[in-house]
Structures are given as structure tokens and as C-alpha cells.
Amino acid sequence: MIKLRDVRPEDKNMLRDWRNKPEVSKYLYNDHHISQEEHDKWFRGIAVDPTCRYWIIACDDKDVGVVYLYNVDNKNKRCYWAFYVADPDTRGKGIGSFVEYSILKYVFEDLEMEKLCAEVLAFNEPVTNMHKSFGFVQEGYFRKHIRKDDRQEDIVCVAMLRDDWEARKSEIEHRLRKKALIK
């Protein structure tokens, strides 16, 4: 069973460990080793920042990753999101699909946003393709936008509008029910 829960203070060290894993940081904008001091400052910041929200992804009662909203803009009714699965043993179990559906539902139905955006490193084609399979549309491509491992990396920008969600929601729910990812 996959579920999301709010980040708690006791998650702080686990999150730092995850963020410093090479197999995780490879897909993050920030890939340098994160010190305890830097992480503590970041963690204090997310706890009080109204423009972001973080959840722990749990699979079969084991914490396996994180999903978050950022740049939540209530005036313009849009926000960004990202996630990662830190536990390689749980990949391929539908976690990404469950998380994507949960965030879409939350953003468009609970927060009543009009647009959900994501930025994905261009080499991470599986995630870009997953977003597109849910109805995200590529809206941009930033060439040599992020520096990682002494290389400039491209970024794919995708977004979904509330209208897109409403048009695709039933099909998405049907697909996820068939995989027993939602009830």
C-alpha cells in the first residue's frame, strides 16, 4: 500500500541522507554534498515557507521517498512539483503513478490551482514520459540550464491545466484502479 504523509521533524536526518545519495542527487538540481548546517537551515525553512509543502512517500509502511510542491502562487493559481524515490527496491511498484495522481488531485481539487508545472532534467526521459502519460504538455525546453557534474544539463518544462485534469481524471483513475494503485 502506498500513501503520503506530512513531513515530521523526526524525518530531518532521513531527508538529508536521501538528498546526499548519488542515485537521488543525480536527478536533483542541487547535487553537491549537503552539510548538516545547510540541511538544518533548509529544513527550518520548509517548515515555515507558505509557498511549499512536503510529504513523505511510504510504501508498505516503509518511508521510500518525498514529494513536494514549491513556488505555490495563490495569486496566479499555479505551482510546481517534484518527487523522488530514494529506495531503489521499491521502484517499479507504481509509486510514481500513485504520487502523480495524488498530487494532481490535491493541487486541482483541494488547492483549486489552475496550473501545475514541473521541470525535469532532460536525460530523465522516464519521468518526462510519465508526466506526459498523465496529460502534462511540454511547454518549454531550457538548453544548458543547470550545471551538474561539471556539465550543463537541459531541462524539460511540462505543465497541466485544471481543464486538462478534469478531461483526463476519469481515464487516469480507471487506469490506476486496474493496477490496484487507488480504490
Residue 79, C-alpha cell as written in the block: 505551482
Residue 165, C-alpha cell as written in the block: 485534469
CATH code: domain of residue 36:
3.40.630.30
For 100-143, the pLDDT digits (tens) are 999 999 999 999 999 999 999 999 999 999 999 999 999 999 99
DSSP per residue over 20-74, as a string? T-HHHHTTSS--SPPPHHHHHHHHHHHHH-TT-EEEEEEETTEEEEEEEEEEEET
Establish if 146 belongs to a structural domain: yes
Q: Which residue type, as a one-letter code, is found at position 83?
A: F
Of the candidates 138, 142, 102, 101, the residue with the CA atom closest to the CA atom of residue 117: 138
Establish if 42 belongs to a structural domain: yes
**Residue 14 region by backbone torsions, left for phi larger than 0, else alpha for psi between -120 and 50, else beta:** alpha
Domain span at residue 137? 2-178
pLDDT cut 70: percent of the chain above it:
100
Establish if 69 belongs to a structural domain: yes
Establish if 183 belongs to a structural domain: no
Establish if 162 belongs to a structural domain: yes
Establish if 170 belongs to a structural domain: yes
Total domains present in the chain: 1
Establish if 167 belongs to a structural domain: yes
For 60-106, the pLDDT digits (tens) are 999 999 999 999 999 999 999 999 999 988 878 899 999 999 999 99
Establish if 13 belongs to a structural domain: yes
